[in-house]
Amino acid sequence: MLSYAPKRAARRIALVRIPATNLDEGLLTHLDRRPVDHALADEQWDNYCAALVAEGWETVEVDAAPDLADSVFVEDAVVMFGDLAVIAHPGAESRRPETEAVERAVRNIPGITVATILAPGTLDGGDVLKVGSTVYVGASSRTNAEGIRQLRALLAPHRYEVVAVPLTKALHLKSAVTALPDGTVIGDPDLVDVPSLFPRFLPVREPEGVAVVALSDESLLMSSAAPETAAMLSNLGYRVVTVDISEFEKLEGCVTCLSVRVR
């Protein structure tokens, strides 16, 4: 029998994790250490969460880890493929304890199945870029060949195609490129070893402009430190929401790494 009753709206969940007390001790690979203003970082994190909520996302907080400096960058600990959560095995040993509470949080979401990347495989969520059914994975200093092999095997039954991308000039793949809702990959051509691996590639000039979070098919979240890129993306018909995340950018974080959208 046909039913015209409206479907229950699907929950749009974003996992977030409050900044650690020792945030300023976060790992640095490409940047020099600059003082982090903790109070400002907390305020920026609140504003980031508020921006997600304003765009219809329900934020779910992973248990705080006050001593795990990089735990606010929750994206690195888990990657979502629809109902499948793949718990990462971070390439940096100091970040491995982050995954336990993240796994607990995803197991609390109804309908989620959990798989795990195991040693000697390493994989950081920041290296995984989903574009439709294609999953680009950066072969970076954090994600190794065995991690990529395990992800490929986990995703094969789910009809995702894993495309490995050599990455020697940036921390994570998503420090160099991200994707617009229409599938165009945007990024810094000088930071990806082989930009031609992406079928539609749009170069971006501002370093903070490479990272966008697709909030919906029409709207993007990005850093306020990349006004030219925001204007360019707005000219392409997107509604652009900006947030100041300067304190996290000092630690090589970006808008994508501060949340995990469950989708």
Ligand X SMILES: NC(=O)NCCC[C@H](N)C(=O)O
Q: Which residue ranges make up the annotated binding site?
A: 28, 70, 75-76, 95, 142, 251
Window of 55-63, 149-157, 171-179, 189-197 that interacts with ligand X by CB under 6 A: 171-179
Kindly tell me which of 126 and 209 has the beta carbon lying closer to ligand X: 126
Tell which one of 21, 22, 27, 202 touches ligand X (CB under 6 A).
27
Contact 240, 220 (CB under 8 A): yes
Q: How many residues bind ligand X (CB under 6 A)?
A: 19
- What residue numbers does the annotated binding site for substrate cover? 28, 70, 75-76, 95, 142, 251
Backbone angles phi, psi at 77, to 5 degrees: -95, -15
C-alpha triplet 249, 254, 256: angle, nearest 5°: 165
Q: Does 172 bind ligand X (CB under 6 A)?
A: yes
Residue 172 designated active-site: yes
- State the minimum distance, in angstroms, from the CB of residue 182 to ligand X: 23
C-alpha triplet 34, 139, 155: angle, nearest 5°: 120
Q: Does 160 bind ligand X (CB under 6 A)?
A: no
Kindly tell me which of 77 and 106 has the beta carbon lying closer to ligand X: 77
Amino acid identity, position 109: I
Picking from 44, 76, 108, 107, the residue whose alpha carbon sits closest to that of residue 259 is: 76
Kindly tell me which of 73 and 198 has the beta carbon lying closer to ligand X: 73
Backbone angles phi, psi at 93, to 5 degrees: -55, -40
Amino acid identity, position 189: P
Kindly tell me which of 122 and 175 has the beta carbon lying closer to ligand X: 175
Q: Does 247 bind ligand X (CB under 6 A)?
A: no
Tell which one of 18, 254, 260, 262 touches ligand X (CB under 6 A).
254
Contact 138, 173 (CB under 8 A): yes
d(CA 222, CA 169) in angstroms, rounded, equals 22
Q: Does 179 bind ligand X (CB under 6 A)?
A: no
Kindly tell me which of 92 and 112 has the beta carbon lying closer to ligand X: 92
Window of 70-78, 100-108, 132-140, 144-152 that interacts with ligand X by CB under 6 A: 70-78
CA-CA distances (angstroms) from residue 131 to 18, 32, 90, 185, 216? 28, 32, 22, 8, 14
Q: 97 by DSSP, 3-state: which?
A: helix
Cis peptide leading into residue 203 (ω within 30°): no
Among positions 112-131, residues that touch ligand X (CB under 6 A) are 126
- State the minimum distance, in angstroms, from the CB of residue 24 to ligand X: 11
Beta strands 185-187 and 177-179 are antiparallel
- State the minimum distance, in angstroms, from the CB of residue 79 to ligand X: 11
Q: Which residues are catalytic?
A: 172, 257
- Give the interface with ligand X as residue ranges (CB under 6 A): 26-27, 29, 70, 73, 75-76, 92, 95, 126, 171-172, 174-175, 251-254, 257
